[in-house]
Amino acid sequence: EVQLVESGGGLVQPGRSLRLSCAASGFKFGDFAMHWVRQAPGKGLEWVSGISWNSDTIAYADSVKGRFTISRDTAKNSVYLEMNSLRGEDTAFYYCAKARPPGSYYLPIDSWGQGTLVTVSS
C-alpha cells in the first residue's frame, strides 16, 4: 500500500525558513516523479513543485520560484521542500504526492499524503 507521510510543518514567522519532509513507502520510490501541492484553509488546490524520478526535471509554481527548493533522497525514500523567505500567503496545508506509473515526469498525480500545516504569522 502506498504511504506518504509529511512532516516539518508548524508556525513560523514571516521571512523565516522551514523544511518539509515526506517519507514514502509501499512502492519503488526511485522510479516515480514526486510533487508538492498546497491548499490554503478553505481555498482550492495549488501545485507548488515537482521533481522527476532522477531529479533531472524540477519545476516550481511562479508563486514560489526562487524561494522554495525541492529535492529527493532515494536512499531515504524521501522528498523534501525547503521553504525560504516565507510569507503569510504561504500559509496552507502542504501535501506530498506521487505521480502515476514510473518513467516520465509528464504523468498525473495518483496518490497523496494527508498533509502538514504550515502557518506563517508573527
Instruction: Output 82 or 109, the one with its CB closest to other proteins.
Output: 109
In the numeric block, the cell 506563517 is attached to 120
User: Shortest approach of other proteins to residue 107 CB, angstroms?
Assistant: 7
Give min distance, CB of 43 to other proteins, in A: 9
Give the residue from 45, 2, 40 showing the smallest Cα distance to 22: 2
Given a contact cutoff of 8 angstroms between Cβ atoms, the answer to whether 8 and 116 are in contact is yes
Report angle CA 64, 67, 72 to the nearest 5 degrees: 90
Q: Which is nearer to other proteins, 13 or 56 (CB)?
A: 56
Three-class secondary structure of residue 82 per DSSP: strand
Q: Which of 73/110 has CB closer to other proteins? A: 110
Shortest distance, CB of residue 96 to other proteins, whole angstroms?
10
Binding site for other proteins (CB under 8 A): 35, 37, 44-47, 50, 57, 59-62, 95, 100, 106-115
User: Identity (one letter) of the amino acid at 2?
Assistant: V
Secondary structure letter of residue 84 according to DSSP: -
Pick the closer one to other proteins by CB: 23 or 59: 59
- We find the least distance from the C-beta atom of residue 68 to other proteins, in angstroms, to be 13
| Residue indicated by cell numbers 525541492 | 70
